[in-house]
C-alpha cells in the first residue's frame, strides 16, 4: 500500500534538492553513499537515481557519477511563465499569452493548471490506484514476452482500430458481463476520454445540446465546451443515478433538442452510485424512443464486485444506438493509456474520426494487455484489486468520520476509487481545495463537476493512489482547514 | 529490403487459408512439418504461426497444436456489412448506417475504407518504411532495458505533455538542426496528425478559412473538414513549394479572412519539394506580418540529407507564432506512434486541448525512443536509413521509366519516401487506382490531395514499405492498366 522504497528515497532527495541544499552542478551522493546512509541495496539506490534522472533532477556523467541538474527544468510546465521562456524568443510573447483556456472550461482548466504548478505530497485528485495495486510484475513479463515474440512490433505500422487479439479478449470479457459483442465491434482508443470525445464528435455538431448528469465528470464538461457543445444538466442522485423523469422531460420539451445523452450508469463519477438494472434498461429504452444516442461511460465498472453493480446499459441495446466507452487505465494499467469503445451503428464514423484525429494505437501495449487479460490470472487479480480498493475506501471513510465528525456527509459506494463529500452548506470547497493545495494536498472541488454555479460545498476525494497514512494525514489537514473556508468564518473575519 | 522469412511464410499460409484449401476447424500443419517443408528453423516456423494467430487465422489449443480459425474474423473491418454484424442485434441497423463519412471528406474516407476491404499485396500508399529499414533490434533492446529500469512504468500514471527525457532529447536534436528549443517547449502527441489537429483546434473555430498548399497531404484536408474548417488552396509548385505571392494575396484580400496557414516547407507531401531557406524565412515573415499563425508540418525532414533540405521554418520564428509539428513515425518507429509539437505561444492552450481530447502519452515508448535518440547510434542509423530510402527511390524511378517511358513525368526529391507521378492529361488516376486495387496494388490517387476537382491525373507512390521486386512488379501492373484509364480509351469503348 505504501510507495516502493526507491520511490521514497527519490522523494526524499527531491525535497533536499528543492530545499536548495543541493544545487545545480553539485556532485550527487554516490550509490555507495546512498546505500550506506539509507541502508538499502545497490539496486534500490540505483533505481532511485534513475527516477531522479527521469525527473530531470540529475544528470549522469560517464565515469564521474551523478550531478544535480537544473531544478526548474524538472517542473512539468503549463505555467505561463515557465512555458513562455520555452519558445525561441520568449520576451516578445504577448500579454494575453493566455487566451489559453478560452472555450476550455476556465474553472476546470485553471484548477488543473494550478495543481501542476504546486508541489503535491498527497494526491486525492488523480483517480487511479498506485502501481502496487496493479499487476505490475505480470504486465512487465507479458511486455517482455511480446517484444520477444513480435520482434518488429515497434517498427511496424499498427493495424487500424486496434489489434484483433485485444479486441477479441475485450469482447469475451464483455460477454462474461452480459454484454455480447464481437471483437470487430470494438475500437481501441487513447483512453476513455478519447472514446467519449469521438462519440460526441460522431453524433453532434457545434452548438448542439447534450444531456449530462449533474454532477458529472469534469472531463465530460471540458470536452463538451472544447467541442462547442452545450451541456444540459439533469438532476442525478447518489441513490438512483440520473433522474429518468427529468431526462424524459428534457428529451420531450427541450429546445433546441437534446442531441445526445452522456451517462455513467455504473459507479458514477463523482457520486459513486450505480443505477439498478431495471433503471439502466429504462434509460436505454427512453433514449431509443426519442432516437437520441446514449453515450455510456463505464470506466469504473470493474473496480467493484459485479453482483453489486449489474450489467452495463449497453447490454440492453437492441439497435446499436448505445455508444459504450471504457478503458483499462483504472482497472489494469494507467501507464498504458488504453481505452476502447463499442460505437454500434456509429462505428464506421467513429473509426474514421479516430483515423483523422490520431490514427492508430501502438500495439505493444495492446498485446501486453491482451495476453494478461486472456488468462485466469486476470480474474484473480481483479478480486485482489477490488479488495485493496475496498480497504482504502474503508480507511478513508473512517478517517473522515474521525476528523470531520458529523460536519461532513459521505456516501459509501460499492466500488470505484473516490468519495464524494458533502461539506456544511456554508463551506466553500474551492477555497478549501486552494488552501489544501498550499499545503501539498490536492483534491477536486465540487464546482469542477458542474457548468453551473453548483456543487460549491462538495469535494471529491480519490483514495486509490495514496497510502493509508497519507489518507489519514491528508484528511486531517482538510478538516483543520475547513473552519477557515466557511462563509460565517469569512464574515466574522471581515466584521 | 525484403520481408523477414517468418512473414513470408505467414503470407503464404494466409493465401492458402484464403484460397479455402485449409478451412475453419482444420488442424494446421505442425511446427515440424513447416520446418521440413519450408526448410526453416523452429523459431522461424513458430514466429510465422504467431503472426497467423495474431491475424486471427489460427487458434492454439493446449497440447493439440494449431487449428484454422474463422477466416472472416481476420479482415479488419470498416466495411458496413462486416461491422453491422458486429453489434448486438445487427438486423435492426438502419439503411443509412453510413451517414458515416458526412463531413469527413467523402472521397478520402471512401478510398481509405475501400482499401481496407481488399487484399493488398503491394502497398504503395502507406508512407512508412519496412521494419528492416528501422533500428528494430536496437529499439527492442532499449524497450527491454526501460522495462527493467522502470519496473512500474506500465502501471504508473504518465506525466502530462510528455516525458522530460524525450522532450529534452528532441529539443537537443532540434538545436542541431538550427532550431533552438527547450525541452519544456515540446509537447508529445499521438503522432503528427494529432499535433496538426491540436494546432488547428487551438487557433481556429468552426467555419474559419485555413490556407493550405495545393496539392496537400490528404490527412490535412480530412482533419479540416472534420473540424468544420474551410481549406483555401494556394498554388504550390514542385520546384519552389507554396507560392508566396498567391499566399500574400490571400492573406491580404480573402474574405472571410485566413485564420491559419498550414504548410510543409520541407519534403512536401505529396510533391517532394523543399523550399529554400530564404523562402522559408519569407514565409514566416509573411505570416507574422498578417498575424496569422503558421502551422508547420515537418514530418519527413530527417528522411533526407540535411544539407539538401535546410532548416525548419520554425527556426526563423521570433515570437512563438509558428506551431511546429513532427513525429517519429516516419523516421524511427511507425509502431510507436510518437508525435510531438512546439506550439510556441499557443502551448498552454494546445496542452489543455490535448488533455481534454486524449490526456497523456504512455511512457514506455517515450523512454525507449529517447534512450536510442540520445546516442550517436541514432546519427549512424539516420544515414543508413536515408541511404536505403534513396536506393528504393532510385529503383522506383527506374522502374517508372522502364514501364511508363515518357508517358509519365516524375520529380525526383532529395528525401522522403514517395514519388508524385504526373500521368497523361487524359488519364484518370482514380480509375487507375481502383483497377490496381482489384489486382492487390494500393496507391494514393491525386484527387485525395485536393478538395477541388483537381489532380485528376496525378498519383502518389510511396516506396518505403515495399521490396525492390514489389516496386518493379507493382509499377508494371500500373503501366499495364494505364491505357484502360484514359478518357480516349473510355470514349473508344463506348463508341
ipTM (interface pTM): 0.83
- Extract the runs of DSSP E, i.e. beta strands, from B252-408: 258-263, 294-297, 322-327, 339-342
Alpha helices (H) along A306-375: 306-309, 347-358, 363-373
B152/A342 Cβ within 8 A: no
For position A34, what pLDDT does the model report?
87
Q: What are phi and psi of A28, to 5 degrees?
A: -85, 150
Asked, for residue A93, whether it belongs to a domain, the answer is no
Of the residues A374, A394, A411, the one at which a domain ends: A374
| Beta sheet of A209-214, edge-to-edge order | A187-189, A339-342, A322-327, A294-297, A258-263, A209-214, A230-237, A241-242
Facing B226 at nearest CB: one of A104, A206, A356: A356
- For the domain that residue A420 is a member of, what is the CATH number? 3.90.1150.10
A-interface mutation test, from B76, B79, B88, B217, most A Cβ less than 10 A away: B88
For position B72, what pLDDT does the model report?
45
**Spans in chain B with pLDDT lower than 70:** 1-3, 54-55, 70-99, 488-495
Facing B319 at nearest CB: one of A47, A53, A92: A92
How many Å separate Cα A372 from the centre of its chain? 22
Asked, for residue B93, whether it belongs to a domain, the answer is no
Residues B401 and B287 in one domain: no
DSSP string, A151-196: TTTTTSPPPTTS-HHHHHHHHHHHHHTT----GGG-EEESHHHHHH
Facing A159 at nearest CB: one of B76, B342, B360: B76
How far apart are alpha carbons B92 and B89 in whole angstroms?
6
Residues A148 and A279 in one domain: yes
How far apart are alpha carbons B79 and B81 in whole angstroms?
6
Asked, for residue A226, whether it belongs to a domain, the answer is yes
Residues A343 and A232 in one domain: yes
Residues B189 and B333 in one domain: yes
Q: How many CB atoms lie within 10 A of CB A184?
A: 26
A-interface mutation test, from B3, B103, B154, B466, most A Cβ less than 10 A away: B154
For position A80, what pLDDT does the model report?
34
- Cβ–Cβ < 8 Å for B372, B135: yes
How far apart are alpha carbons B354 and A98 in whole angstroms?
16
| Domain limits for position B25 | 5-74
For position B88, what pLDDT does the model report?
38
For chain A, what is the domain count? 3
First to last CA, chain A: 46
Residues A319 and A176 in one domain: yes
Classified as helix, coil or strand, A121 is coil
Quickly tell me which residue has 510528455 as its cell.
Answer: B162
Of the residues A374, A408, A430, the one at which a domain ends: A374
Query: Between these two residues, A11 and A248, which has the higher pLDDT value?
Result: A248
Write out pLDDT tens, residues A90-145.
334 444 554 678 888 888 999 998 998 899 999 999 999 999 999 999 999 999 99
A-interface mutation test, from B132, B348, B350, most A Cβ less than 10 A away: B348
Q: Which helix (H) or strand (E) holds A96?
A: none
Asked, for residue B420, whether it belongs to a domain, the answer is yes
- Chain B residues with CB under 8 Å of A349 CB are 99-102, 104
Of the residues A354, A374, A394, the one at which a domain ends: A374
B87/A345 Cβ within 8 A: yes
Residues A363 and A415 in one domain: no
Write out pLDDT tens, residues A168-205.
999 999 999 999 999 999 999 999 999 999 999 999 99
For position A160, what pLDDT does the model report?
86
Q: Give the closest residue to B298 by CA, choosing from B320, B334, B321, B330.
A: B330
Asked, for residue A172, whether it belongs to a domain, the answer is yes
A342/B193 Cβ within 8 A: no
Residues B38 and B156 in one domain: no
Residues B34 and B177 in one domain: no
Residues B15 and B155 in one domain: no
Write out pLDDT tens, residues A243-280.
999 999 999 999 999 999 999 999 999 999 999 999 99
How far apart are alpha carbons B446 and B456 in whole angstroms?
6
Residues B480 and B422 in one domain: yes
pLDDT over 50 (residue A375): yes
Facing A93 at nearest CB: one of B90, B345, B368: B345
**Residue A48, all three cell numbers:** 532511485
For the four alpha carbons of B281, B283, B286 and B292, in that order, the dihedral sign comes to negative
Angle between helices A136-149 and B136-149 (to 10 degrees): 170
Asked, for residue B85, whether it belongs to a domain, the answer is no
B219-224: list long-range contacts, CB under 8 Å, 24+ apart: B219/A356, B219/B193, B220/B196, B220/B262, B220/B297, B221/B105, B221/B108, B221/B448, B221/B449, B221/B450, B221/B451, B222/A355, B222/A356, B222/B104, B222/B105, B222/B108, B222/B109, B223/A356, B223/A357, B223/B193, B223/B196, B223/B197, B224/B200
For chain B, give the mean pLDDT. 89
Cis peptide leading into A270, omega within 30 of 0?
yes
Residues B68 and B150 in one domain: no
Residues B52 and B199 in one domain: no
Amino acid at each position: 500500500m505504501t510507495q516502493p522504497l526507491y520511490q521514497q528515497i527519490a522523494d526524499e532527495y527531491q525535497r533536499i534538492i528543492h530545499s536548495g541544499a543541493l544545487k545545480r552542478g553539485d556532485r550527487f551522493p554516490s550509490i555507495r553513499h546512498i546505500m550506506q546512509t539509507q541502508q538499502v541495496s545497490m539496486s534500490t539506490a540505483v533505481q532511485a537515481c534513475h527516477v531522479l534522472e527521469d525527473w530531470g533532477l540529475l544528470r549522469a556523467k560517464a565515469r564521474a557519477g551523478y550531478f544535480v541538474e537544473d531544478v526548474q527544468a524538472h517542473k512539468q510546465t503549463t505555467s505561463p511563465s515557465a512555458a513562455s521562456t520555452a519558445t525561441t524568443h520568449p520576451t516578445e510573447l504577448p500579454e494575453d499569452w493566455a487566451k489559453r483556456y478560452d472555450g476550455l472550461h476556465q474553472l476546470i482548466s485553471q484548477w488543473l493548471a494550478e495543481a501542476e504548478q504546486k508541489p503535491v505530497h498527497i494526491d486525492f485528485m488523480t483517480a487511479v490506484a498506485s502501481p502496487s495495486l496493479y499487476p505490475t510484475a505480470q504486465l512487465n513479463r507479458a511486455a517482455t514476452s511480446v517484444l520477444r515474440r513480435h520482434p518488429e512490433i515497434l517498427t511496424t505500422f499498427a493495424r487500424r482500430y486496434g489489434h484483433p487479439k485485444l479486441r477479441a479478449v475485450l469482447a469475451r470479457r464483455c460477454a462474461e458481463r452480459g454484454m455480447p459483442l464481437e471483437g470487430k465491434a470494438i475500437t481501441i482508443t487513447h483512453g476513455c476520454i478519447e472514446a467519449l470525445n469521438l462519440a460526441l464528435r460522431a453524433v453532434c455538431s457545434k452548438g448542439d445540446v447534450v444531456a449530462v448528469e449533474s454532477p458529472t465528470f469534469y472531463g465530460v464538461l471540458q470536452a463538451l465546451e472544447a467541442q462547442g457543445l452545450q451541456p444540459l444538466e439533469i438532476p442525478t442522485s447518489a441513490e438512483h443515478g440520473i433522474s429518468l423523469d427529468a431526462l424524459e422531460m428534457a428529451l420531450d420539451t427541450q429546445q433546441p433538442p437534446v442531441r445526445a445523452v452522456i451517462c455513467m450508469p455504473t459507479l458514477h463519477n463523482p457520486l459513486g452510485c450505480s443505477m439498478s438494472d431495471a433503471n439502466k434498461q429504462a434509460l436505454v429504452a427512453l433514449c431509443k424512443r426519442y432516437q437520441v444516442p446514449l453515450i455510456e461511460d463505464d470506466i469504473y465498472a470493474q473496480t467493484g464486485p459485479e453482483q453489486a453493480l449489474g450489467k452495463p446499459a449497453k447490454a440492453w441495446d437492441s439497435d446499436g444506438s448505445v455508444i459504450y466507452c471504457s478503458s483499462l487505465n483504472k482497472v489494469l494499467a494507467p501507464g498504458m493509456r488504453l481505452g476502447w469503445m463499442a460505437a454500434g451503428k456509429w462505428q464506421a464514423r467513429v473509426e474514421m474520426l479516430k483515423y483523422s484525429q490520431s490514427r492508430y494505437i501502438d500495439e505493444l501495449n495492446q498485446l501486453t494487455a491482451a495476453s494478461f487479460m486472456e488468462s485466469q490470472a486476470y480474474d484473480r487479480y481483479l478480486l485482489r484489486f477490488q479488495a485493496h480498493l475496498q480497504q482504502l475506501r474503508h480507511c478513508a471513510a473512517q478517517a473522515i468520520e474521525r476528523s470531520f465528525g458529523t460536519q461532513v456527509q459521505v456516501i459509501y459506494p460499492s466500488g470505484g476509487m473516490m468519495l464524494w463529500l458533502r461539506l456544511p452548506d456554508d463551506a466553500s470547497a474551492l477555497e478549501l481545495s486552494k488552501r489544501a493545495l498550499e499545503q501539498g494536498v490536492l483534491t477536486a472541488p465540487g464546482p469542477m463537476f458542474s457548468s453551473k454555479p453548483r456543487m460549491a460545498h462538495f469535494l471529491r476525494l480519490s483514495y486509490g493512489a495514496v497510502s493509508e497514512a497519507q489518507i489519514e494525514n491528508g484528511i486531517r489537514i482538510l478538516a483543520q482547514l475547513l473552519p477557515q473556508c466557511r462563509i460565517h468564518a469569512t464574515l466574522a473575519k471581515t466584521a
